[in-house]
Structure formats: C-alpha cells, structure tokens
Amino acid sequence: MRWIWIDRFTEFESGSHATAVKNVTLAEEHLHDHYPGFPVMPGSLIMEGLAQTGGILLGEKNNFEHVVILAKIPKCEFHSWACPGDKLTYKVSLVESSEQGGMVECTASVGERVVAEAEIVFAHVDKTRPEAAAIDQKNFVFSMRLLGVMDVGKAGDGSTSISVKTESSN
Amino acid sequence: MPTQEEIYEKVAETLVDALGLDDDEVTPEATLVGDLGAESIDFLDIVFRLEKAFDLKIPRGELFPENLTAGDPNLVKDGVVTEQGVAMLREKLPFADVDAFAEDPQVENIGDLFTVQMIVNYLDQKLS
C-alpha cells in the first residue's frame, strides 16, 4: 500500500491554492475496524490528505527544492464524517510561505457538507541534516505523478497547468 | 501607526491562536517558552501569524534568532553567559530585557528573554 491519501488534484494554482479529491471506499482495510458496523474515514487520515495537498502546494512553489514536513496543526475541527462512497474534496490555500516553511488553511468537504477545517504549518528541513538524508521528496512527488495524481489539466480550457509542465520537465 | 496597546492586543490574539491558550494567560511579562509553553516549531507559526496580522515580512532570525550562544566558550562559561555573551544578546535581541537577564546570566534562562513584550517592542519599531 502506498502512503498516498489523495486520489487526484482537480485544481492546482501554483503558490496559491489547490483542490484534491479522495474517494472513500470500503476496500480500504482500516475502515473494517474503524468502526465495526460503522465505517468512517479516520479523521487523522483526512488530516493527512489535507497535509499532502498542502505540502505539495508548498513544495511545488519552490520546485520541490526543500524537504517539506508537517510541523504543526494549530487548528483542526471536525464537523461531520465521510463514509464509503463519499468523495472528499480537499481545498487548500497557501496563506504564508517563507524560506523556513509555510502555512495553509484548508477544508475537507463531501458535496456541500463541510467535514473538517484545519490550519497546517509546514517546515522546511535542511537537506544537509542527517535525518533528512533519507527523504527524497522529489521522488515521492514524482512517483505520485506517475500515478496521475498531478494530472490536473482537466478543468477550464483543458490545458495542462504550467506547474505540472514544470514538474514533468524536471 | 498603531499604538503599543493596539499592537499588544493583536499579539495576544496571535499567541492565543498559535499556542491554544486562554485569553487571560497572555500577559506582557509572560515568557513564550516557560509561561506559555511554546516549542521550537511554534516560533515559525507565530512568525507566520504576525506577518499576516500586521501585513509585514519578518526576516529569518530577526525576531527569534536561533542558536544564540551555539556552545561558544567565549560566550558561555560554566553555564553562565559571559560579558561578551551578554553584549551579543544585546545586539541580537535589542527588543528584549537583557538588563534583567544580565543580573543573573544563567545560560538556561536565555529562553526567558523571549517575552510577549519583546514581540510588541519589535513590532512597535518595525511599524514606526
């Protein structure tokens, strides 16, 4: 199993905002026990999906030159839940970014129903630090690209966004 | 230009959001780490929020410099910050109450220089 908690980006505006979707399915093993007889997507994995959407948004802004890690979730509120068959839409806006990291505001919804709202802070880890040596974020995102998760040229005029062109040309 | 009081109100609000505090926990004298429980990653969060709240850029290390003494034997000797070290703190933390720290310059108390008032002083100058 791959640790990828978004299925596809549906919108990607470099350095500004992004939308990704996650289809919840009963084939996901963790739903069998969470909870028995009442399968719901764990809130922590919704947060992970939001963080992956936001982390890629921030990473792409800097051409994936930094190792982006989830540093802190200062705010996180759950209003509802997502069940098998639901399509979670993760909307993320980059509200701050600097050399040291960035912050996003995000929501997870199913249709019009807001499931969760959060703020997530990311930090850039210096690649020269020993603990960062094992992380190859470009490969991570590149492998996601192979899975089609970054194919977002499906809205508007149907053209592939500049950000995706940049990424694929690397 | 906002008054010190207006700046303080916004700073207090920022800290309440960043550190998950109750409103009455924030006082001008409160130390960020000791009293308000801030951890290293919170400083990044606080900087982001201040930038947003005050619509300005805070260059890295300007408000919260890192590795102040960096184990330099000229700056710290036997757990006490030397005169040279105190001079360095005055230079790098012009908005902190270094005079109070200098009365008992234990290296372990360096964190206490980072107070709510220090942030207010920094912003007051930055915005003027």
Q: What is the pLDDT of residues B66-112, one digit of tens each?
A: 888 887 888 999 999 999 999 999 999 999 999 999 999 999 999 99
Q: Do B17 and A101 touch (CB under 8 A)?
A: no
pLDDT exceeds cutoff 60 at A166: no
Q: What is the pLDDT of residue B66?
A: 87
Q: Where are the domains of chain B?
A: 4-127
pLDDT exceeds cutoff 70 at A170: no
Q: What is the pLDDT of residue A165?
A: 43
First to last CA, chain A: 26
pLDDT exceeds cutoff 60 at A169: no
Measured CA to CA in angstroms, residue A116 lies from A42, A46, A76, A113, A119 at distances of 11, 8, 7, 9, 10
Q: What is the pLDDT of residue A13?
A: 93
Tell me the percentage of chain B whose pLDDT exceeds 70.
100
Chain B residues near residue A103 by CB distance under 8 angstroms? 45, 48
Q: Do B44 and A123 touch (CB under 8 A)?
A: yes
Count of pairs with CB atoms under 8 A, one residue in A, one in B = 34
HSE-CB for B82 with a 13 A CA cutoff: 11
Q: What is the pLDDT of residue A159?
A: 54
Check whether domain B4-127 has CATH 1.10.1200.10, yes or no: yes
Interface test with A, best of B36, B44, B64 (most A CBs within 10 A): B44
Task: Give the pTM.
Answer: 0.84
Q: Do A121 and B45 touch (CB under 8 A)?
A: yes
Average pLDDT for chain A: 84
Average pLDDT for chain B: 93
Determine contact, residues A20/A147, Cβ cutoff 8 Å. Answer: no
ipTM of the shown complex: 0.83
- Please name every residue paired with B76 in a beta bridge, in sequence order, or none if there are none: B81
Q: What is the CA radius of gyration of chain B?
A: 15
- The count of structural domains within chain A is 1
Report the range of poorest mean pLDDT among A60-69, A120-129, B8-17, B113-122.
A120-129
CA-wise closest residue to A16 among A63, A61, A69: A61
Q: What is the DSSP letter of A160?
A: P
User: Token pair 């759950």 is at which residue?
Assistant: A78
Q: What is the pLDDT of residue B70?
A: 81
Q: Do B48 and A99 touch (CB under 8 A)?
A: no
Q: Is residue A98 part of a domain?
A: yes
Buried b (16+ CB within 10 A) or exposed e, B23-39: eeebeeebbbbebbebe
Q: Do B44 and A75 touch (CB under 8 A)?
A: no
Report the range of poorest mean pLDDT among A17-21, A125-129, B34-38.
A125-129
B112 touches chain A (CB under 8 A): no
Confidence class for position A3, pLDDT limits 50, 70, 90: confident
B8 — phi, psi (to 5°)?
-60, -45
Q: Is A124 a catalytic residue?
A: no
A102 — phi, psi (to 5°)?
-165, 170
Residues near B89 by Cβ (< 8 Å), separated by ≥ 6?
B68, B81, B96, B98, B101, B110, B113
B37 touches chain A (CB under 8 A): no
pLDDT exceeds cutoff 70 at A137: no
B6 touches chain A (CB under 8 A): no
CATH number at residue A72: 3.10.129.10
- Identity at A56, one-letter amino acid code: I
Q: Do A121 and B60 touch (CB under 8 A)?
A: no
- State which residues form the domain around A136: 8-146
Bridge pairing between strands A87-97 and A113-125: unpaired
B20 touches chain A (CB under 8 A): yes
CA pair distance B76, B123, nearest whole angstrom = 29
- pLDDT of A63-75, one tens digit each? 888 889 999 999 9
Tell me the percentage of chain A whose pLDDT exceeds 90.
66
Choose, from A32, A34, A79, A124, the residue flagged as catalytic. A34
pLDDT exceeds cutoff 70 at B8: yes
Tell me the percentage of chain A whose pLDDT exceeds 70.
74
Chain A's closest residue to B42, CA to CA, is A72
- pLDDT of A91-100, one tens digit each? 999 999 999 9
